Amino acid sequence: MDPIRIGLVGDRNLEVRAHAAIPRALDLAGKGLPRSLEPVWLLTTTLGRDLDERLSQLSGLWCVPGSPYKSTESALWAIQTARERPIPFLGTCGGFQHAVLEFARNVLGSPEAAHAELSPAAKDPWISALSCSLVGESGLIKLVAGSKAATAYGKDKTTEEYHCNYGLNAAYRERLETGGLKATGFDEAGDVRILELEGHPFFVATLFQPELSAYRGVPHPLVRAFGEAAFHHWHRSQAHAAS
C-alpha cells in the first residue's frame, strides 16, 4: 500500500536534532492512519518554481527547522504554494518564522517584511530576536479554545520544547491576525507560539519543535493532526482523479 508522502522543506542535516527526529515523528503519527507517512526532502537549493510539478506526489508540506535556509526564496515559495492550493502545512521553528514572512509579503502587502537574523538593519522586521533565547528550553503554552491546536491536543495547555532565538515581532501581531493568520497558542508571558490560517484545511505554524517528542517515542498531537489532514488531502485527490 502506497504511503502518504510529506514534503520536508529545508536543508537536510542529520546533525540537527529536529531533522533526525522528523522522520521518526511522522512514523509515529502514521501508525494510527490507514496509510503510513513517508518523508520526502525538498532541499531549498534544488527547490524552485518547479514545485508545482512535484506536488502530485505530495499530500502535505512541512517547513522544517534549520534556518536561515540556503534559499529563502524557495522556502517562501513552498509556503505560498501550500497556502494557496490549499495543501496541509506544518511549519516548526524556522518554518513558523518564514510562514509569517510569506504572509506579510504576499497577503498583507509588506514586500519589505524581513527576518532580523538575515537583515539586522531591516526597517520592517516582522521576525525579531526574542528577548530571551529559547534554545534548549521548554515551557507552558496556553491554547485557544476551538483552534486546530486545541482540538489536536484535546486540552487547553501543553508543555513544549524550543530551539529558537527569533519569533514574531509583537508590533505586527494585530496586522497578521486581521489578515487571517491567527494566534492560537501563547506562552505564559502572552507571546505568540502558534499561528493558524483561517479558512485553510490545515495550516499551522509553531515556534516550538513538536517533532522532538519522537526522541521519547511519543506521537505528537499536532504531527498526528497534520498527518490526518495529509491523508484526507490524498483521499480527496484520489477521488477527484477517479471522477
The DSSP secondary structure of 162-198, one letter per residue, reads ---SEEE-GGGHHHHHHHTEEEEEE-TT--EEEEEET
- Residue 242: the pLDDT is 67
pLDDT exceeds 90 at position 154: yes
Calpha distance 179→190 (Å, rounded): 20
β-bridge mates for residue 204, sequence order: 90, 196
pLDDT tier, 218 (very low <50, low <70, confident <90, very high otherwise):
very high
Q: Kindly indicate the confidence band of residue 104, based on its pLDDT and cuts at 50, 70 and 90.
A: very high
Residue 68 preceded by cis peptide, ω within 30: yes
Quote the pLDDT of residue 86.
94
Q: How far apart are CA 61 and CA 51, in angstroms?
A: 11
Contacts of 82 by beta carbon, 8 Å cutoff, 6+ apart: 61, 88, 89, 203
